[in-house]
Chain A
Amino acid sequence: MKRAVGLLVVILIAAAGWFAWVTFFPSDERRIRARLDEIVDTVNARSSDGLSRIADAARLASFFTEDVTIDPGPPYPVMQGRDAILAAASAAGRGAGGFELAFVDVQVAMGGTGTATAHLTLTLTWPNVQTSGSTVDAREVQLALREEAGEWRVAGGAPVQTLQR
């Protein structure tokens, strides 16, 4: 009985140690996933007052490298630089009822030093005024990420053609 209790205590300590290690020293993949979650949360927050909006914009900018290039796919033009991304996000947020962003089925692959790619399905959900339901647009996307000053940032993004015309 004493032996079983001892074994249980060892297992609990090992589990707590593993949990602490993962929490305080996350792997690059976990940090990237957390970063992508932060992007989604920030985009979806949509603060209403002016100061918070400025803070959200600054926070959103921090998720991208200075030279970020995003190709949304036809018919939209390629966006280059943080300012272009922020302008596009702001314009999209002003649309009727705004939208809800989600990253689904995220797969992270580590590259060379300080680089990684994330393959995911991006969904945008809009309220549909005609049906009083919602409209969902789903795209498969490949993101390039780069570590700068200890933070993972999006350096590029392009659509993956699920169906080839």
Chain B
Amino acid sequence: MNVSSAQPAGAAARWRRVLVGRNPARAVVRGVVILLVSLVTFRWVLVPIRTHGPSMLPTYRDGGLYFVNRFAYLASEPRRGDVVAIRLAGPHVLFVKRVLALPGERVLIRGGIVYVDGKPLAEPYVVHRAQWLMGEKALGAREYFVAGDNRGMRIEQHELGAVDRDRIVGRLVW
């Protein structure tokens, strides 16, 4: 009787030690610190996003969960080939696009091939290529030209174009 009643008490003590450790006050502090670090990280640094739509296929699948590094461009500027998140009216709905051309460059699309300053752009991430056509566009001092990786879509159904630097909120990391 004594043995059987002692076993649950011992198990409870073990579980309590696993969950809160030897010092409950320290466990609370640890929990609060973890909570704060997670909150700051996932709200302002690595922001989780869920993608909708086929425009970044096959690189990023529809419905996938990814993270935006909002600190990626604090010390440097977006580079060609980076996949970036672009804000619309605010931070809760974002476009995910790839940077194809940089400020000051000229970009045009002919036969589905992107030309930057007259030279065709090598794009190994593009699998299907429809016959897209877009006249030459000269980018301003703070403009980047972006498009999705899915070039098999009709160009009318695809969001692409020049975006102001201020709208780029970060780079996709996964």
* Known contacts A135-B53, A163-B95, A163-B146: A121-B161 contact under CB 8 Å: no
Complex: how many Å from CA A105 to CA B91? 7
Q: Which residues of A contact B93 (CB under 8 A)?
A: 104-105, 121, 123, 138
Query: Size class of A's contact patch?
Result: 20 to 34
Cross-interface CB contact of B88 among A134, A135, A140, A164, cutoff 8 Å? A140
Complex: how many Å from CA A141 to CA B90? 11
Query: Does B137 count as interface, using CB distance less than 8 angstroms?
Result: yes
Number of A-B contacts (CB under 8 A): 64
Question: Please, what's the 1-or-0 string for A130-148, where 1 marks a CB less than 8 Å from any CB in chain B?
Answer: 0101111011110000000
Q: Which residues of B contact A131 (CB under 8 A)?
A: 62-63
Complex: how many Å from CA A138 to CA B156? 15
Query: Size class of B's contact patch?
Result: 20 to 34
Q: Do A107 and B62 touch (CB < 8 A)?
A: no
Cross-interface CB contact of A120 among B52, B62, B89, cutoff 8 Å? B89
Q: Do B53 and A136 touch (CB < 8 A)?
A: yes
Provide a sorted-by-A list of 25 A–B residue pairs whose CB atoms are within 8 angstroms: A75-B156, A105-B91, A105-B93, A106-B89, A107-B89, A119-B89, A121-B88, A123-B93, A131-B62, A134-B52, A135-B53, A136-B53, A138-B93, A162-B86, A162-B88, A162-B163, A162-B167, A163-B86, A163-B97, A163-B161, A163-B163, A164-B143, A164-B162, A165-B160, A165-B161
Pairs A-B, 6 closest by C-beta atoms: A105-B90, A163-B161, A136-B52, A121-B89, A121-B88, A140-B88
